[in-house]
Structure 1
Amino acid sequence: MIERKNAASKVFYMLTVFIVVIFSLSCLLPLVYTLALSLSSKEAVASGQVGFFPVGLTLVNYKEIMKDMQFFLSFGIAVQRVILSTLIALAVMIPASYALAKSKKEFAPRNVIMWICMFCMMFSGGLIPWYMTMKNYGLINSVLGLAVCGGLPIYNMILMINFFESISKELEEAAIVDGAGPWRILFSIVLPISKPIIATIALFTIVGQWNEFFQGYVLSTKINYYPLQSYIKQMVVQIDYSTITEDQFASLANLSNTALNSAKIFVSMLPILVIYPFLQKYFVSGIMLGSVKE
Structure 2
Amino acid sequence: MPNQATMMEKVFDSFNGLFLTALMVLTVYPLVYVAFSSVSSAESLMAYNGILWKPLGFSLEAYVNVFRNPMILKGYGNTFFVVVVGLVFNILLTAFGAYALSRKSLVYRKKIMLFIVFTMFFSGGLIPFYLTVKGVGLNNTLWALIIPQAINTFNLILMKTAFESIPDALEESAKMDGANDFVILFRIILPLSMPVIAVMLLYYGVSHWNSWFHALIFLQDRSMYPLQLVLREILLQGEASAMAVGATDADAAMLSVTLKYATIIVATVPILLVYPFLQKYFVKGALIGAIKG
The alignment of Structure 1 onto Structure 2 pairs a total of residues equal to 289
Letter in 2 for 1:18: L
CA contact (8 A) 1:42 1:254 kept: no
- Alignment of 1:72 onto 2:73: yes
After alignment, is 248-257 or 217-226 more displaced?
248-257
Alignment of 1:129-140 (within 5 A): 129-140=128-139
CA contact (8 A) 2:161 2:291 kept: yes
Alpha-carbon distance, 1:56 to partner? 2.0
Percent identical across equivalent pairs?
33
Unaligned runs of 5+ in 1: none
Partner of 1:208: 207
CA contact (8 A) 2:43 2:254 kept: no
Q: 1:109 to 1:181 in 2, by over 3 A?
A: same
SS at structure 2 position matched to 1:197: helix
Partner of 1:41: 41
For 1:72 and 1:285, the matched residues in 2 are separated by 36
SS at structure 2 position matched to 1:234: helix
Unaligned runs of 5+ in 2: none
Alpha-carbon distance, 1:226 to partner? 1.2
Alignment of 1:191-230 (within 5 A): 191-230=190-229
Q: 1:95 to 1:151 in 2, by over 3 A?
A: closer
CA RMSD, 1 decimal: 2.4
TM-score, L = length of structure 1: 0.89
SS at structure 2 position matched to 1:194: helix
Alignment of 1:27-176 (within 5 A): 27-49=27-49, 51-103=52-104, 106-176=105-175
SS at structure 1 position matched to 2:195: helix
Alpha-carbon distance, 1:63 to partner? 0.9
For 1:16 and 1:162, the matched residues in 2 are separated by 33
Letter in 1 for 2:17: V
Alpha-carbon distance, 1:238 to partner? 6.1
Alpha-carbon distance, 1:45 to partner? 2.1
For 1:254 and 1:122, the matched residues in 2 are separated by 45
TM-score, L = length of structure 2: 0.90
For 1:266 and 1:256, the matched residues in 2 are separated by 16
SS at structure 2 position matched to 1:53: coil
After alignment, is 219-228 or 44-53 more displaced?
44-53
After superposition, what is the alpha-carbon deviation per residue over 1:168-194, rounded to whole angstroms, capped at 9, x for unaligned? 222222223333222222111111110
Alpha-carbon distance, 1:289 to partner? 1.0
Letter in 2 for 1:101: S
Partner of 2:270: 271
Q: 1:290 to 1:74 in 2, by over 3 A?
A: same
Letter in 2 for 1:135: K
CA contact (8 A) 2:209 2:228 kept: yes
Alpha-carbon distance, 1:287 to partner? 0.7
Alpha-carbon distance, 1:257 to partner? 1.8
Q: 1:6 to 1:90 in 2, by over 3 A?
A: same
After alignment, is 130-139 or 6-15 more displaced?
6-15
